[in-house]
């Protein structure tokens, strides 16, 4: 008799099934029958239509107008594994959220399919009929109800029915079982009478495989099809450049919640100073507010004190918070609708700026104010950056830090001042913190500002401890001031102006909150 190798893997149970061993789920027929019985029936009325539904329909109509006769596929995306059998909280792709009006926690694996129809006879007089495909709630007489830890109601809570989500969105709905037919039927080259498909890619690999297989089977050129998908990605990104009334209202909510979060941080500053990971105390205080008033953080919080404030995207937040330092807090609350704020303040931990800190802070504030004063319809987006950075270059020159003249620095072949501010001054803001990122340069950087655009103004100066090109008294100091700006008919509105900006106002505000 030979000895078995105890290290050899067992082949009695499929590998993919072993993840459920920990649950010790009962499988007896008696259990299954009992689980399927004695549940109250849902007698609730259908929900009212969501406030976002009519706006989402108008957005789909613009998309339809741009791609007549073509099938458009917008996936929400799948769940993403965080660790083994636990997933990250689900967030749909921003294009899906924008075009359906659905915000948080709605339907991993869902797909919006816009089917072409005769001109003007689609939804709201468009050229398409939109259908939302998703996995509806499993009935309590099914094993998924209590066995499926990703979608079973016993595990993850109530799920919408086809009829309830249809009522909320104002769109027809269908199950995922019908999705393959909906995507692939009659597909093929338009020249041969088929329907051309456009897909928002890099969202759901399963949907990509389905679309690409259909294209191959119908003789379509994949390289040419990739170009079609790129055009769609550009358009759905550019569709968000100008916000509608619903979006602006949601951004105002996000900003208000974010300001509350900044107040929470100031109230907890003494705890942060006392803790060996004070930046984590700051991060935690803001995160608590984000979960209380919104869905999540709009992005990982930057809670950077001292020299860490000179690291542009410092999100480890493992450092101390010391008296005498400046704390750079860059944070935003994401609303249930998924619209996020993005605000930065640079706060004196002691409650008072030192002379050098105040001088640098005032320079950054002056740069921000200059860009805001210039912001109005007709100004090119890229000019906001030029206005702000000229102010910074002038101050660096006044302080004897800039090694060349201001004009030489501002020349594209110079840019010496950018050593201390290597990032841009502005970015669009909305469903993504860096919204509309796939838009073409001519519609983003080179575009003229329009009423309804929302973007940040966020100049900064970052003097690293190890920077020998500056006097010692500046080293280890990072300052950024960031506000969220709405373009109006004749100028601009600072949506985050309620959060103090002037140094003396910041100091008074902090003193009041800390008692």
Query: 338 and 211 in one domain?
Result: no
> In the structure, what pLDDT confidence band is assigned to residue 3 with cuts at 50, 70 and 90?
very low
Query: 166 and 137 in one domain?
Result: yes
Does residue 7 form part of some domain?
no
Burial class (CB in 10 A: 0-12, 13-18, 19+), 242: middle
Tokens found for residue 341? 């704020």
Does the structure show a pLDDT above 60 at 7?
no
Structural domain boundaries enclosing 410: 245-514
* pLDDT value of residue 10: 55
Structural domain ending residue among the three candidates 238, 268, 303: 238
Mean pLDDT of 167-189: 94
Query: 223 and 339 in one domain?
Result: no
User: pTM of the prediction?
Assistant: 0.94
Per-residue pLDDT tens for 202-256? 999 999 999 999 999 999 888 999 999 999 999 999 999 999 999 999 999 999 9
Query: 162 and 257 in one domain?
Result: no
Question: What is the dihedral angle through the alpha carbons of 100, 168, 430, 381, rounded to the nearest 10 degrees?
Answer: 60
Q: Which CATH number fits the domain that encloses residue 316? A: 3.90.230.10
Does residue 12 form part of some domain?
no
Does the structure show a pLDDT above 70 at 293?
yes
* pLDDT value of residue 1: 45
Query: 271 and 234 in one domain?
Result: no
Does residue 478 form part of some domain?
yes
The residues, ordered by sequence, that sit 6+ positions from 63 with a Cβ below 8 Å of its Cβ are 72, 99, 114, 128, 235, 236, 239
The residues, ordered by sequence, that sit 6+ positions from 314 with a Cβ below 8 Å of its Cβ are 302, 303, 304, 308
Mean pLDDT of 491-506: 98
Q: Which residues of 11-40 are buried (b: 16+ CB within 10 A; e: fewer)?
A: eeeeeeeeeeeeeeeeeeeeebeebeeeee
> In the structure, what pLDDT confidence band is assigned to residue 6 with cuts at 50, 70 and 90?
very low
């Amino acid at each position: 008799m030979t000895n078995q190798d105890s290290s050899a893997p067992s082949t009695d149970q499929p590998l993919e099934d072993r993840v459920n061993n920990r649950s010790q789920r009962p499988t007896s027929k008696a259990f299954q029958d009992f689980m399927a019985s004695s549940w109250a029936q849902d007698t609730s009325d259908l929900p009212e239509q969501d406030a976002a539904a009519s706006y989402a329909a108008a957005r789909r109509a613009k998309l339809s107008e741009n791609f007549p006769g073509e099938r458009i596929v917008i996936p929400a995306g799948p769940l993403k594994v965080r660790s083994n059998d636990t997933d990250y909280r689900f967030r749909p792709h921003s294009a899906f959220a924008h075009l359906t009006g659905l915000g948080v926690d709605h339907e991993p694996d869902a797909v919006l399919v816009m089917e072409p129809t005769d001109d003007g006879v689609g939804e709201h007089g468009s050229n398409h009929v939109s259908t939302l495909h998703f996995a509806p709630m499993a009935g309590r007489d099914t094993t998924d109800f209590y066995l499926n830890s990703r979608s079973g109601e016993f595990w993850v809570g109530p799920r919408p029915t086809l009829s309830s989500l249809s009522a909320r969105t104002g769109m027809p709905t269908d199950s995922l079982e019908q999705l393959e037919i909906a995507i692939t039927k009659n597909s093929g080259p338009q020249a041969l009478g088929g329907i051309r498909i456009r897909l928002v890619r890099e969202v759901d690999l399963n949907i990509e495989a389905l679309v690409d297989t259909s294209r191959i089977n119908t003789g379509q050129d994949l390289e040419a099809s990739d170009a079609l998908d790129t055009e769609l990605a550009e358009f759905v990104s550019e569709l968000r450049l100008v916000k509608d009334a619903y979006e602006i209202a949601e951004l105002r909510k996000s900003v208000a919640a974010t300001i509350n979060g900044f107040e929470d941080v100031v109230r907890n500053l003494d705890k942060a100073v006392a803790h060996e990971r004070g930046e984590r105390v700051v991060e935690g205080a803001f995160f608590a507010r984000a979960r209380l008033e919104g869905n999540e953080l709009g992005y990982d919080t930057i809670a950077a004190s001292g020299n860490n404030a000179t690291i542009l995207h410092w999100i480890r937040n493992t450092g101390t918070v010391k008296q005498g330092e400046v704390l750079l807090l860059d944070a935003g609350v994401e609303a249930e609708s998924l619209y996020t704020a993005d605000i930065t303040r640079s706060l004196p931990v002691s409650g008072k700026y030192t002379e050098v800190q105040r001088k640098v802070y005032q320079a950054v504030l002056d740069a921000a104010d200059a860009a805001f004063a210039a912001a109005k319809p007709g100004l090119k987006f890229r000019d906001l950056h030029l206005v702000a950075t000229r102010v910074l270059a002038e101050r660096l020159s006044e302080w004897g830090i800039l090694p060349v003249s201001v004009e030489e620095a501002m020349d594209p072949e110079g840019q010496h001042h950018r050593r201390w501010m290597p990032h841009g001054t502005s970015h669009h803001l909305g469903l993504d913190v860096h919204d509309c990122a796939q838009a073409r340069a001519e519609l983003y950087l080179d575009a003229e500002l329009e009423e309804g655009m929302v973007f940040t103004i966020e100049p900064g100066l970052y003097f690293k401890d190890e920077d020998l090109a500056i006097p010692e008294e500046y080293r280890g100091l990072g300052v950024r001031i960031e506000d969220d700006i709405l373009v109006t008919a004749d100028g601009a509105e600072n949506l985050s102006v309620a959060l103090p900006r002037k140094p003396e106002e910041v100091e008074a505000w902090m003193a009041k909150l800390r008692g």
